Structure 1
Amino acid sequence: MSEPAAAADRRAVLRRRIRLLVAATITYNVIEAIIALSAGTIASSVALIGFGLDSVIEVSSAAAVAWQFSGPDPERRERIALRVIAGSFLALAVYVTVEALRTLFGGDEPAHSTVGIALVAVSVVAMPFLAWAQRRAGRELGSASAVADSKQTLLCTYLSAGVLVGLVLNAALGWWWADPLVALGLAVVAVREGREALRGDSCCAPLRLDADPADDCGSPAGCTGSCCAGAPR
């Protein structure tokens, strides 16, 4: 098989892989959002509600990538997908900030949530695997939107860990204020990730498809897109 044909076949494989990973992400996050929003509403937990909304946003982000790769020329749809992902991050940051401040200064103390703790603990374990797989495929393909969506999934892991700490502190020690403080920290992370997604529309593609994705950022042309953010050196 000629080199161009092999490269084309590899790209097709990577696109199918990304579509499958996106489908898995959407399915998981729909279930997660329903449980988190219900449990968060019952417990009046802004961190848990924010976690549920992040799951909703993760679905919209994954759907944007699925839409991009459903067409014959995904690269042409990349900029729109990146804007959807960035907007999702920023919308989450605004909502969580407002609700966290309202909780802190309004004295609306969140209750304990055993269901929320169990759900978030599962996410801490499951999300990193999905994020790693999609990030690797996206970087090898040179897709900024796929990498940005993987970072959305990875943010869900950070979100899970932070929310878990807040829920456990509230349940074990009665530190209700840990819940909104964790939410404010997550809002800061969401703003940063949204800005990086907006800058990712000039993602560098690897020089060759059989290259190690970790080496993508070492190209002479340099790279400023989200594909290279946080890449191992």
Structure 2
Amino acid sequence: MSTWTTVGTNERRATLMRRAQLLAGASVAYNTIEAVIAITAGNIAGSSALVGFGLDSLVEVSSGLVILWQFRHPMPESRERTSQRLIAVSFFTLAAYLAVEAGHALISGAQPESSPVGIGLALASLAVMPFLSLWQRRTGRELGSAAVEGDGTQTLLCTYLSAVLLVGLVLNATLGWFWADPVAALIIAAVAAREGWENWQGDDCCTPAALTTPRAVTDVPAVTTHCAEDDCCTPSATELDHDASTKVDRGT
């Protein structure tokens, strides 16, 4: 289960929450366009790998929508566990699809036509996705949200898949090695399944998260969230009492 911690000041926490939503929105917009182009180009070229890449983009869209749904709540940490599991389901869906498509491609031995559009799309994804993933994972780590971090990890997998797609399309176009893409896709499917399992299990939300802003600078005590019976994370009553006592002692 996950840990949400008040990060430094309330202003910093609000900034991180806004950033998480902006990154999720950017991911949804980019991947929607990518999915349309990839699926269309894949059907024209008869490339199951390119169609699969487009469907992976739709999984990315669903993951971003989960994050946007989570942060529409006044206390997004209360939706953290559900968000983690929804993202886990998207990982499992991606892994299952890649495994089926890669297996079918290996068995059938079908060799698709070359696709310049697909190669260009893979290059564009390799230029954009690593930076988007880096910011998502940094934001999730600092905020203490495993769901946001998981969304960033899924974006990172999309980067790997872009590299696999590029190599597969180039090798198919130049050397006729149709099997290169499905073999690499099977490896990515295994990684996606592992990430899905980790998101489904979650982390222990009762373990304090590290603060990225020193308490001495902000003078704001950390509040670690703890899991209630419904798997939601709520602030520890003991810590809230301690915070209240501190304010009384200070005369506030």
Match among 100, 107, 110 for residue 109 of structure 2: 107
Amino acid at match of 2:58: V
Work out whether residues 7 and 211 of structure 2, in 8 Å CA contact, stay in contact via their aligned partners in 1.
no
Residue in structure 2 matching 1:133, options 132, 135, 148: 135
Q: What are the equivalent positions in structure 2 for 1:1-233 lying under 5 Å apart?
A: 7-202=9-204, 206-210=209-213
Q: What's the Cα RMSD here?
A: 1.9
CA shift, 1:175, in A, is 1.1
* 8 A Cα contact 1:36 1:116, kept in partner: yes
How far the C-alpha of 1:126 sits from its partner, in A, is: 0.6
The unaligned stretches of length 5 or more in structure 2 are: 1-5, 215-223, 225-252
User: What do residues 39-91 of structure 1 show as CA deviations (whole Å, max 9, x unaligned)?
Assistant: 12222222222211111000100110111011101111011111111111111
Q: 1:5 to 1:122 in 2, by over 3 A?
A: closer
Could you say which structure has the greater relative contact order, defined with CA pairs below 8 angstroms and 6 or more residues apart?
2
**C-alpha deviation, 1:201, in angstroms:** 4.5
**Larger Cα Rg: Structure 1 or Structure 2?**
2
Higher helix fraction (1 or 2):
1
Q: Alpha-carbon deviations, 1:133-191, whole Å to 9, x = none?
A: 11111111100100000001111111111111111100111112223223222211211
After superposition, the Cα gap between the structure-2 partners of 1:5 and 1:82, relative to the gap in structure 1 and judged at 3 Å, is closer
The 2-side partners of 1:100 and 1:208 are apart by 43
Give the partner amino acid of 2:68: A
How many pairs are equivalent?
209
Superposition TM-score, scaled by structure 1 size: 0.84
Q: Is the 8 A contact 2:41 2:117 kept in 1?
A: yes
Aligned AA (1:74): P
| Structure 1, 43-52 or 75-84: larger mean CA deviation | 43-52
Single out whichever of 173-182 and 124-133 deviates more from structure 2: 173-182
User: Which string of whole-angstrom CA distances, capped at 9 and with x for unpartnered residues, describes residues 90-114 of structure 1?
Assistant: 1111122112212221232222111
Q: Could you tell me the TM-score, scaled by structure 2's length?
A: 0.78
Q: Which letter maps to 1:210? A: T
CA distance in 2, matches of 1:140, 1:109: 45
Task: Say which SS state the counterpart of residue 177 (structure 2) adopts.
Answer: coil
Q: CA deviation at 1:31?
A: 0.5
State the one-letter code of the partner of 2:22: L
* Contact 1:96-1:184 within 8 A present in 2 as well: yes
SS of residue matched to 2:71: helix
Which residue number in structure 2 is paired with residue 225 of structure 1? none
Structure 1, unpaired ranges of 5+? 212-220, 222-233
Aligned partners of 2:187 and 2:115: how far apart in 1?
20
Compute the displacement of 1:205 (Å). Answer: 5.5
Tell me how far apart the structure 1 counterparts of residues 89 and 128 of structure 2 sit (CA, whole Å): 25
